[in-house]
A and B are shown apart, each in its own frame.
Chain A
Amino acid sequence: MTETQALRDPIPLLEVDDLVVDYASKRWNRAPFRALRGISLTIGRGETLGLVGESGSGKSTLGRAVLGLAPVTAGDIRFNGQTISHLKARHRRALSQDMQVVFQDPYTSLNPAMTVNDILTEPLVVAGDTRRDAESRVKELLDFVHLPANSGQRLPREFSGGQRQRVAIARALCRSPKLVVCDEPVSALDLSTQARVLDLFIEIQERTGVSYLFVTHDLAVVRHIGHRVAVMRAGEILETGDAEKVTSSPEHPYTQQLLLAAPVPDPKRQALRRIQRQKISSAPATV
């Protein structure tokens, strides 16, 4: 459904063109750190692009740059055809209607001193909704993410990690965005919770047609939720393609390494995988 849609759609929802992001070094005489070295990708409507990499690959930086939370040194980011790489603050705020975020840590992405109601109505009220409209929308949202209706009066610390993530998802959805940047949203959750929350993401996408830029380190997760996937290392994209293909028979040796390194929950298969992996890599560790 989404791939045919993407083919039909002349302008992709999000386009990143040769993006470069540098972080200034703290020492005055050191060169800046180049986090992204010329990234290009696109995301279509209703599509999930998985961004996979290990730590230091730049995957989170890419997400943050799209959101306007990281400085753009060179290159272009276009949303719906409009360049957003160097937006003024006022225009960036207007973009919040269409672009939202769900972060990794459910414990620090919600203000612990605000009730769920306050957290969810805040973006709506800022956008100009009346209090009453905002609150009825909150009820809708809580239902959408399968949280009990009385969650509104409670504080974040009264919820489990998975439930807090649902609140974060609800917050991201409150103004019906077109794109949600998901920065490792299930990495901090328990195994059983992970599966449920991932399915919630999928359900939401089916119902609303929202697109995801889904950042994760887990190939298995991206296989389940992604339509396409891009594999990153050290600020560069090494391989892009259909999620199922890249996560089962990747072409780039690094992706192959990633795939073989993740242990599978089956002793016999895992033993085979281990032998495969050890055959490929033989140098002693420098990490």
Chain B
Amino acid sequence: MSENTSSGAAAPLLADEANVARYGLFHRLLRDPVAVISAVILAIVVLAAVFAPLLTNQDPVQNKLADSLAPPFTAAHPLGADSVGRDVLAQLLYGARTSLIGAVIVVVVCMGLGVPAGILAGYFRGWIDSTGSWISNALMSLPAIVVLLVVLARVGRSTPLALAVFGILIAPAAFQLIRGSVRAVREELYIDAARVSGLSNARIMGRHVLPVVIAPSIIQGSQFAAAGIGIEAGIAFLGLGTSDHASWGLMLNDASQNIFVAPSLIVWPTIAIVTTIMVFTLLGNSVRDALTGTTTNKKRRSMGARVLTGGSSTSAASREVAQQASPLGPTSRTTDALLVVEGLKITYAAQDRADKTVVHDVSLSLRKGEILGLVGESGSGKSQTAFAVLGLLPGAARMNATSLIFNGQELPKLSSEQWNNLRGRQIGYIPQEPMSNLDPSYRIGFQLTEPMRHHLQLSKTAARQEALRLLARVGISDPQRVFDSYPHEISGGMAQRVLIAGAVSCNPELLIADEPTTALDVTVQAEVLDLIRDLQSERHMAVLLVTHNFGVVADLCDQVAVMQAGRIVEAASALELFANPRHEYTRMLLDSTMENAPSRRQMALSQWQGSDTQTMNQDAIS
């Protein structure tokens, strides 16, 4: 099971996708209809180019003014002839050769320069990288056409040369992409591990870096091929290339000059160019989709609508269930309960497999001013439960609950606007990772005052004063400086204090803290826990604390609920649970904490004394 992740949204899906296709790239492509069709069309174009002499006996470059603008559907000119009598079909077929060769030249030059340079720059960094990047930036600031014109001015017309120069000009694109991929891989721990294992640089590059580079190279290669086709046509169209070969661009040149007289001449070269370019582009896209995993794309496609409304609006069916089950206020369990959750179930739909249920039938209740710890390992569903109460489950989640009531309001029935009034105002949230939960583009002060002005209708000055007061309250020694800072200018511990300040700023009745100290150093953790305890007692807030650390539970919580695999296996007061754990899972977890584990000396002693207290484990399920 995956370890504690901060962005719980992705966790349930990813762990499952681990077993998606181990099929090779090729197989996956074969199953993609777009890829197959594109490949077939490309094959047709290639074959047409190769077998051109067999398919037509006309000369594509010879002027035959007698045949000028001949109409189509004749034996000599099945598709007609252009303004100087050149056969359209012949030009199409021989032009295909020029275009394909053009694409090959561009791809070979561009990738031949860009890929090795990118690998070296990305792997060795230092001066190689600086030089390569400077050259790459310089080349990229040159508009291609201008350079081609310079070439024309000196060397005269030459299509292969022009295409080679174009290849050099777009090599930076390949360079930057490959360099980026290599740099990313370089940072990976398995590269360090390989070095410690005794692999030489050459071997590391060959075995670990190169495979990573192949995929983006293929994708970019097809994009460059598409670009090459376009550029070859453009060069020919402009008259910068040699005119002794047929070319689709030349056809367009002639067509454009006769656009009023024979507009239909545009049709065939346009179709040819567009088709060939599209085919390369689509093949590249298919390879990219096949490699990055179809789930990402599908997730991206469906996420759109529900990204910002997801989780707060449940399906109609579950809304009905909610209405039937609890027609009036809270259930009978506790009448002064601030939060009542009953029969909570959260499911994620998986594309090719059965739905995955991450929370099964969870029930809990929280009174005003009470601190409930929701404890479990990763994958237990504890964070999901917390997000359900906040209405912040990802769009792909489906939530059902017999009842989900906060302060007398039934949460599943709330509209989007009612949810926005509830969140931040009556329910506060402290996230796990301090740095990634602050908007990097805005100052801390703005991020604190914005919600206060929204919920409490404060003026800008009043909000600012309140924010400064809060920053001081959470233990920041220079509130003004932090107020004016950006998130990247403060430390993790300070950022977490800022987030806590934000969470309590509108005086909520319930505070939901999702592993608030996991990402912090232990000394900072202790201070933050003190802070939460003080704020809680000061404002008499109820707290739902999600954690995997029993020490934190012992420090802070009144009540505890232990979760395993989406269910609550034991719930009791903190004192009761630690003194007398009843469920075997709870007992196992408590035993796993290092608190009571023997030290090496004790283990050695017990060995000498013959008693076997060592905890050698023969099973290796985890």
Contact = CB atoms under 8 A, between A and B. Distances in A.
A195 interface: yes
B600 A287 contact: no
Contacts of B189: 103-105, 108-109
A270 B555 contact: yes
A285 B497 contact: yes
B196 A69 contact: yes
A263 B377 contact: no
Interface string B611-622: 000111111101
Interface residues of A, number: 92
Interface in A62-103: 67-69, 89, 93-97, 99-101, 103
A20 B189 CA distance: 23
B194 A196 contact: no
Given A195-B592, A267-B574, A158 B19 contact: yes
A10 interface: no
B190 A96 contact: no
B622 A285 contact: no
Contacts of A67: 196
Contacts of A166: 620
B551 A244 contact: no
Q: Looking at B200, B203, B622, which has the most chain A CB atoms within 10 Å of its CB?
A: B622
A109 to B, nearest CB: 4
A139 interface: no
A163 B199 CA distance: 24
A160 B377 contact: no
Interface stretch (A29-37, A130-138, A216-224): A216-224
Given A103-B192, A263-B552, A244 B1 contact: no
B616 A199 contact: yes
B575 interface: yes
A232 interface: no
A265 B590 contact: yes
Interface in B180-208: 188-190, 192-201, 203, 207-208
Given A69-B195, A126-B203, A160-B622, A190 B1 contact: yes
B619 A146 contact: yes
A270 B554 contact: yes
B196 A96 contact: yes
A117 interface: no
Interface in B522-539: 522-527, 529-530
Contacts of A96: 196-198
A264 to B, nearest CB: 5
Contacts of B594: 194-195, 198, 218, 220-221, 223-224
Nearest to B616: A203
A145 B620 CA distance: 8
B554 A195 contact: no
Contact of A226 (B212, B548, B600): B600
B600 A192 contact: no
A263 B517 CA distance: 12
Contacts of B212: 113
Given A96-B198, A158-B19, A111 B377 contact: no
A55 B198 contact: no
A265 B551 contact: yes
B17 to A, nearest CB: 9
B617 A122 contact: no
Interface in B1-29: 1-4, 18-19, 22
A162 interface: yes
A97 B615 contact: no
Given A161-B2, A257-B523, A285-B527, A126 B197 contact: yes
A110 B188 CA distance: 9
Contact of A284 (B19, B193, B378, B475): B475
A140 interface: no
A252 to B, nearest CB: 14
B599 A243 contact: yes
Contacts of A286: 477
Given A243-B599, A244-B602, A191 B589 contact: yes
Contacts of B491: 287
Contacts of A265: 550-551, 553-554, 578, 590, 593, 595
A122 B204 CA distance: 11
Nearest to B590: A265
Contact of A277 (B200, B494, B526, B618): B526
B598 interface: yes
Nearest to A257: B523
B595 A190 contact: no
A208 interface: no
Interface string B51-91: 00000000000000000000000000000000000000000
A54 B599 contact: no
B211 interface: yes
Given A108-B190, A147-B620, A196-B622, A97 B198 contact: yes
A193 interface: yes
A199 B618 CA distance: 10
B394 interface: no
Contacts of A93: 198-200
Given A100-B196, A264-B554, A267-B554, A192 B523 contact: no
Contacts of A247: 599
A51 interface: no
B37 interface: no
Contacts of A108: 188-190
B476 interface: yes
A16 interface: no
A161 B196 contact: no
B493 A287 contact: yes
A261 B197 contact: no
Q: Looking at A69, A99, A287, which has the most chain B CB atoms within 10 Å of its CB?
A: A287
A241 to B, nearest CB: 12
Given A224-B594, A258-B523, A196 B199 contact: no
Nearest to A106: B3
B604 interface: yes
A96 B360 CA distance: 49
A264 B551 contact: yes
A141 to B, nearest CB: 13
B325 interface: no
A172 B438 CA distance: 39
A261 B525 contact: yes
A224 B598 contact: yes
Contacts of A111: 188, 190, 194, 208
Contacts of A243: 599-601
A192 B555 contact: no
Contacts of A7: none
A278 B578 contact: no
Contact of B578 (A95, A103, A227, A267): A267
Contacts of A146: 617-620
Interface of A: 1-2, 48, 54-55, 67-69, 89, 93-97, 99-101, 103-106, 108-111, 113, 122-123, 126-127, 145-148, 155, 157-158, 160-163, 166, 168, 171, 188-200, 202-203, 217-218, 220-221, 223-227, 242-244, 247, 257-258, 260-270, 274, 277-278, 284-287
The 5 closest A-B pairs by CB, nearest first: A263-B551, A96-B198, A146-B620, A220-B594, A265-B550
22 contacts: A55-B521, A67-B196, A68-B195, A96-B197, A122-B207, A146-B619, A160-B2, A168-B193, A192-B377, A195-B592, A196-B622, A200-B617, A218-B522, A242-B601, A243-B601, A261-B525, A262-B522, A266-B578, A269-B554, A274-B555, A286-B477, A287-B494
Interface of B: 1-4, 18-19, 22, 188-190, 192-201, 203, 207-208, 211-212, 377-378, 475-477, 491, 493-494, 497, 521-527, 529-530, 548-555, 574-575, 578, 588-595, 597-604, 614-620, 622
